[in-house]
A and B are shown apart, each in its own frame.
Chain A
Amino acid sequence: MIVTILFSLVILLTLISVGKLLSIGELINRVRNRESYKITESENNWNALLALFMLFFGYLIYFYFHFEYVEGGKLLPGAASVHGEAIDKLQTVSFVIISIAYLLVQPILWFFAFKYRYKEGNKAYHYAHNNKLEMVWTVIPAIVFCGLIFYGLKIWNDTLGKEIEGDKLTVELYAKQFDWTARYAGKDKELGDANYTMINDLNSLGIITSETLEVQFENINTKRNEVLAKLNNFPIKSELAELKKELTQYNHQLQMINGLIKKNEEAKFIKAYDDIVIAPGGEIHFPVGKPIELKMRSQDVIHSAYMPHFRVHMYCVPGMTTTFGFIPTITSAEMKEKLNNPAFDYVLYCNNICGAAHFNMQMKIVIETEEEYERWLKKQPTFADSFNTKPAEEAPAATDSTSTTTSEPVAKL
């Protein structure tokens, strides 16, 4: 409120003084019979003074925001991941360099505008070029930037250019309008296969198992038959095109599912049974100090998985899987203590425009010790649990599994 009043006052005063200035200027012009476009020396001096003010203004905004926000701790806390710490260092080095350049060059510009303002009788110094000088400001930036490039590229390659080795935890981040689903690879450390034609209300990730194949085939076949029936029932013209489009869509989908069924007959899709799916609204848990391999997918449009506290950011693109590996270093509890903020939470959110609710597409992340994580993990049902049957490595009982897939636990998927 006070800010608003202050600003209104500033605007009002500015407008009044502008008005005064102009009318006085006009008056003087009329008296002296001078054309108003000609720049008087006093006008020039006033503007030169304001240019000098810009010099201080440049320092003012730099230092005000630096102390208020950077030093004031209102920005992101230090990285909570191994590669993030390296990125932070690089960022500090880069900011020191560009700050020096800003604090040196910007004031010189305004200072020269002030210092060399027009004076009657002065003559400018005809100075067209100086190769030595130009070499200096070509070579110095070139050396500095080359240093930055090589330093930056090393960090970049350390971050994304390497396969994650050793005992890693593979987790899928699955994006759709407008929430996140996470999937842990489970005991076999491999994520089960998935396909977008397999998606239905109960299987939002499109995970492929013998059971889901069965259900989805029935599901789509029924829908297709409904459309066929409608088509045979002399639909009105306006509906015809839409129905035909649906029919081709279902035909295509059935074709894809049939292909998967055939594949399943050759070699069963069993990797998904031990996967653990965390539905939207849940929490992602990671053990501290363990290499995490994130695999991103998207159901509909491009989203972006942004976890700024870990300096992790990667697009989720429909039709492809993207990856990002990192090692978290600070548990949620430690971070709360460090920031003295019990309400602090790590968070994953969408950072690529994806639709109306883009601004609220988030999921809570918990970093905890290995033991805490194991305890949490044990409590999570596996994908197979949701069928209420054992991992069916043998041929699934068709009718049974169909009925169970519609049962309660699956609905949470």
Chain B
Amino acid sequence: MAESLNIPGVESHAHAHEHHDAHHDHHETFLTKYIFSQDHKMIAKQFLVTSIFMAFVAFIMSLFFRLQLAWPNQPFEIMDIFLGKWSDNGILDPNFYLSLVTMHGTIMVFFVLTAGLTGTYANLLIPYQLGVRDMVSPFMNMLSFWFFAVSTIIMLVSIFVESGPASSGWTIYPPLSALPQAIPGSGLGMTLWLVSMALFIISSLLGALNYVATVINCRTKGMKMTRMPLTVWTFMTAAILGILSFPVLLAAALLLIFDRSFGTAFFLSDIFISGQALEQTGGSPVLFQHLFWFLGHPEVYIVLLPALGIASEIIATMSRKPIFGYRAMIASVLAIAFLSFIVWGHHMFVTGMDPFLGSVFTFTTLLIAIPSAIKAFNYITTLWKGNVILSPGMLFAIGIVSMFISGGLTGIILGDSALDINVHHTYFVVAHFHLVMGVAALFGIIAGVYHWFPKLYGRMMNNKLGYVHFWITIISAYGVFWPMHYLGLAGVPRRYYSNTAFPMFDSLQDINVLITIFVIIGGTAQLIFLYNFIYSIFKGPKAPQNPWRATTLEWTTPVEHIHGNWPGEIPEVHRWPYDYSVPGADEDFIPQNVPLSEKEKAENTHH
């Protein structure tokens, strides 16, 4: 298929060799190598570096609002320095507080977790692990990054507009997001937000189409679907989720743009604001929520599944054991992906929607717990009787599972419509999704950096710094998000500028102080990571070809990046990716490209 289309950079195994010679003539300039690169490895790095930068931006935002929440209305000089007119003698402006909350959420969900995970690791690992020289369309891949880059720049620019950035929450529920009269952030800031998101969606679609097409069309010889590493399974599933759900968000964003600028009434009805009765009638604000969460919920799995895929890969490799229940893991991923499309209503139990509909969403939501439970138990069984090497990547992978368990369990409370009535929009929700989606997915990115750094930069990161980074980070993550559950159970709503207006929350203020202290500690720990990351790019020890003694194909490529990934022929795959500690084998791992031995053939037990 691929060679008949004559797509550059992609060859089927049969033609690999002839094509490869052409690559030697390929001269690259700085511009084509580092900026407008079409090489999947370089694009992966571009996504990674951008998303790490955005993670720090979003983190610093959270620091500002955490200071306000812990010590409400106390002046902090740091606010004056950084926030300018949005800080009144060191006290955060309430409107800008909402902007910070909104931008923190938007940047983290889309620009860090979505782009950082799929953008980086799907790009890096799909061609590498499937034995492909590059994506189906390297040009589209490049466009995907550059749409993302432009969208990032617009989102960053929106922070500096005079009326302030978007401030109606990352879920941008209209009418609040549609009416600049209601909140200043819904002026130019919101327009830029929508434009930026539209570009982001285009970028995500270009990427996702490429990932799915590559996985389906371009696997090397012998790489049956059931021999693909779980990482690739999760990247592909997440990409399909993106293809099916992101266009719905684009539709919602477009309709919102119409409502904002052209006087239509898709989401607006019967509104009286700043002394004016608006003309729009007949629209439904709840319709927007349906459209938003039709993306919003699959989005959770778009970021979580790749993190779980990365965890599967690292845990199997570092336990020196096959992943337990490979097929069950694939089935769970597919089940979760399917169910993720029919649960969006659990974000809307108390919007006034029909109680019967609420029942249906409760049912489907709690069903997700079953494949999730299977995955958690399978990870644990993979560790059982392993020979576990606790590399920093492995620790973060175990951290993912830990967060997945802790955060997933509270989902059983939130998914139950009857219980959701009282915890909806409280800190219980904030705690839940930060653990299960935020921290777990962030750990996915970090675990991937430690584990695949040799493939990204050809060097190794410092382990000791990695250990310090991990232990401070996981303790802080629990320190920040665990106490939040109790705030929620006490009825404290999210997105409150301060809780001082309610005497009933006074006895909980020390929780807020505790959380902020852990935010500061956890944030400092990320500087250790940043230092380790940058230092190792330039000065880290040169990586051996296969430092973790892993079985998958990326470790058969040379350490130095070359265009087309393999200097000679593309390796052929003979076995599944989890042949660790096979009884009777010489080594405790057998790479996928090693042919079956006579004994194995005789036993005929292989995948």
- With A126-B580, A313-B424, A358-B497 in contact, do A113 and B521 touch (Cβ < 8 Å)? no
Contact A36 B425 (CB under 8 A): no
Contact of A127 among B282, B322, B358 (CB under 8 A): B322
Encoded as 1 (CB less than 8 Å from any B CB) or 0, chain A from 248 to 261 comes to 11001100000000
Q: Is B156 close to A, CB under 8 A? A: no
Complex Cα–Cα for A400 and B277 (A) = 26
Contact of A106 among B175, B182, B402 (CB under 8 A): B402
Q: Is A395 close to B, CB under 8 A? A: no
**A356 vs chain B, min Cβ distance (A):** 4
Complex Cα–Cα for A199 and B274 (A) = 11
Name A150's closest neighbour in chain B (CB-CB): B363
**Which of A40-48, A182-190, A264-272, A401-409 binds B?**
A40-48
A235 cross-chain contacts in B, Cβ below 8 A: none
Contact B272 A196 (CB under 8 A): yes
Contact of B493 among A75, A296, A306 (CB under 8 A): A306
Q: Is B60 close to A, CB under 8 A? A: no
Q: Is A119 close to B, CB under 8 A? A: yes
A319 cross-chain contacts in B, Cβ below 8 A: 268-271, 281-285
Contact B541 A358 (CB under 8 A): no
**A332 vs chain B, min Cβ distance (A):** 13
Contact A106 B398 (CB under 8 A): no
B183 cross-chain contacts in A, Cβ below 8 A: 355-356
Q: Is A226 close to B, CB under 8 A? A: no
Q: Is A166 close to B, CB under 8 A? A: no
Complex Cα–Cα for A177 and B265 (A) = 21
Q: Do most interface residues of chain A lie in helix, strand or loop, or is the interface mixed?
A: helix
Q: Is A33 close to B, CB under 8 A? A: no
A320 cross-chain contacts in B, Cβ below 8 A: 269, 284, 286, 352
Q: Is A9 close to B, CB under 8 A? A: no
In chain A, residues 144-177, which have Cβ atoms closer than 8 Å to a Cβ of chain B?
145, 148-149, 152-153, 155-157, 159-161, 177
A44 cross-chain contacts in B, Cβ below 8 A: 389-390
Q: Is B495 close to A, CB under 8 A? A: yes
Q: Is B384 close to A, CB under 8 A? A: yes
Complex Cα–Cα for A273 and B382 (A) = 71
Contact A91 B419 (CB under 8 A): yes
Q: Is B264 close to A, CB under 8 A? A: no
Contact B463 A37 (CB under 8 A): yes
Contact A125 B581 (CB under 8 A): yes
Q: Is A14 close to B, CB under 8 A? A: yes
Complex Cα–Cα for A161 and B360 (A) = 13
Complex Cα–Cα for A300 and B275 (A) = 11
A349 cross-chain contacts in B, Cβ below 8 A: 493, 502
Contact B390 A108 (CB under 8 A): no
**B536 vs chain A, min Cβ distance (A):** 9
A145 cross-chain contacts in B, Cβ below 8 A: 366-367, 369-370, 412
Contact of B380 among A102, A108, A311, A354 (CB under 8 A): A108
Contact A105 B499 (CB under 8 A): no
Contact A39 B390 (CB under 8 A): yes
Complex Cα–Cα for A301 and B286 (A) = 11
A236 cross-chain contacts in B, Cβ below 8 A: none
Contact B416 A152 (CB under 8 A): yes
A315 cross-chain contacts in B, Cβ below 8 A: 350-352
Q: Is A129 close to B, CB under 8 A? A: yes
A357 cross-chain contacts in B, Cβ below 8 A: 94
Encoded as 1 (CB less than 8 Å from any B CB) or 0, chain A from 14 to 54 comes to 10001001100100000000011101000110111011001
Complex Cα–Cα for A299 and B419 (A) = 28
In chain B, residues 486-542, which have Cβ atoms closer than 8 Å to a Cβ of chain A?
486, 489-491, 493, 495-499, 501-504, 507-508, 510-511, 513-514, 517, 521, 524, 528, 540-541
**Which of A135-143, A280-288, A371-379, A386-394 binds B?**
A135-143
Complex Cα–Cα for A69 and B505 (A) = 12
Contact B463 A39 (CB under 8 A): yes
Q: Is B46 close to A, CB under 8 A? A: no
**B190 vs chain A, min Cβ distance (A):** 13
Contact B377 A75 (CB under 8 A): no
B386 cross-chain contacts in A, Cβ below 8 A: 112, 116, 124-125
B380 cross-chain contacts in A, Cβ below 8 A: 105, 108-109, 112
Contact of A359 among B482, B496, B541 (CB under 8 A): B496
**A241 vs chain B, min Cβ distance (A):** 13
Complex Cα–Cα for A309 and B422 (A) = 9
Q: Is B35 close to A, CB under 8 A? A: no
Contact B272 A300 (CB under 8 A): yes
- With A95-B413, A138-B370, A249-B276 in contact, do A7 and B517 touch (Cβ < 8 Å)? yes
Encoded as 1 (CB less than 8 Å from any A CB) or 0, chain B from 203 to 231 comes to 00000000000000000000000000000
Q: How many residues of A are counted as interface, with CB atoms below 8 angstroms from the partner's CB atoms?
A: 123
Q: Is B326 close to A, CB under 8 A? A: yes
- With A356-B98, A359-B94 in contact, do A116 and B388 touch (Cβ < 8 Å)? yes
Contact of B501 among A39, A138, A157, A362 (CB under 8 A): A362
Contact B462 A36 (CB under 8 A): yes
In chain A, residues 339-376, which have Cβ atoms closer than 8 Å to a Cβ of chain B?
343-344, 347, 349-360, 362
Q: Is A308 close to B, CB under 8 A? A: yes
Contact B359 A156 (CB under 8 A): yes
Complex Cα–Cα for A113 and B397 (A) = 11
Q: Is B59 close to A, CB under 8 A? A: no
Q: Is B49 close to A, CB under 8 A? A: no
Contact A355 B362 (CB under 8 A): no
Contact B182 A122 (CB under 8 A): no
Name B378's closest neighbour in chain A (CB-CB): A134
Complex Cα–Cα for A349 and B395 (A) = 43
Contact A126 B387 (CB under 8 A): no
- With A123-B588, A124-B581 in contact, do A109 and B383 touch (Cβ < 8 Å)? yes
Contact A129 B324 (CB under 8 A): yes
Name A35's closest neighbour in chain B (CB-CB): B541
Encoded as 1 (CB less than 8 Å from any A CB) or 0, chain B from 92 to 113 comes to 0011001000000000000000
Q: Is A74 close to B, CB under 8 A? A: yes
Q: Is B63 close to A, CB under 8 A? A: no
Complex Cα–Cα for A145 and B374 (A) = 13
In chain B, residues 386-404, which have Cβ atoms closer than 8 Å to a Cβ of chain A?
386-391, 395, 398, 401-402
Contact B401 A301 (CB under 8 A): no
Contact A21 B464 (CB under 8 A): yes
11 A-B contact pairs sorted by A residue (CB < 8 Å)? A36-B541, A37-B541, A61-B478, A126-B581, A128-B578, A138-B373, A149-B416, A152-B419, A156-B362, A302-B175, A320-B352
Excluding A94-B412, A153-B418, A353-B169, 11 further A-B contacts by CB distance (< 8 Å) are A11-B524, A22-B464, A35-B541, A36-B463, A37-B462, A50-B471, A112-B380, A113-B390, A145-B370, A300-B272, A362-B502
Nearest 10 Cβ contacts at the A-B interface: A319-B269, A322-B352, A37-B460, A308-B491, A125-B385, A112-B383, A359-B496, A155-B418, A124-B581, A47-B390
Residues of A within 8 A of B (CB): 3-4, 7, 11, 14, 18, 21-22, 25, 35-37, 39, 43-44, 46-48, 50-51, 54, 57, 61, 65, 69-70, 74-76, 84, 86-87, 90-91, 94-95, 97-98, 101-102, 105-106, 108-110, 112-113, 116-119, 122-130, 133-134, 137-138, 141-142, 145, 148-149, 152-153, 155-157, 159-161, 177, 195-197, 199, 206, 248-249, 252-253, 296, 299-302, 304, 306, 308-309, 311-315, 317-320, 322-323, 343-344, 347, 349-360, 362
Residues of B within 8 A of A (CB): 94-95, 98, 168-169, 173, 175-176, 179, 182-183, 268-273, 276-279, 281-286, 319-322, 324-328, 350-352, 355-356, 358-359, 362-363, 366-367, 369-370, 373-374, 376-381, 383-391, 395, 398, 401-402, 405-406, 409-410, 412-413, 416-419, 421-422, 424-426, 460-465, 467-468, 471-472, 474-475, 478, 482-483, 485-486, 489-491, 493, 495-499, 501-504, 507-508, 510-511, 513-514, 517, 521, 524, 528, 540-541, 543, 547, 578, 580-583, 588
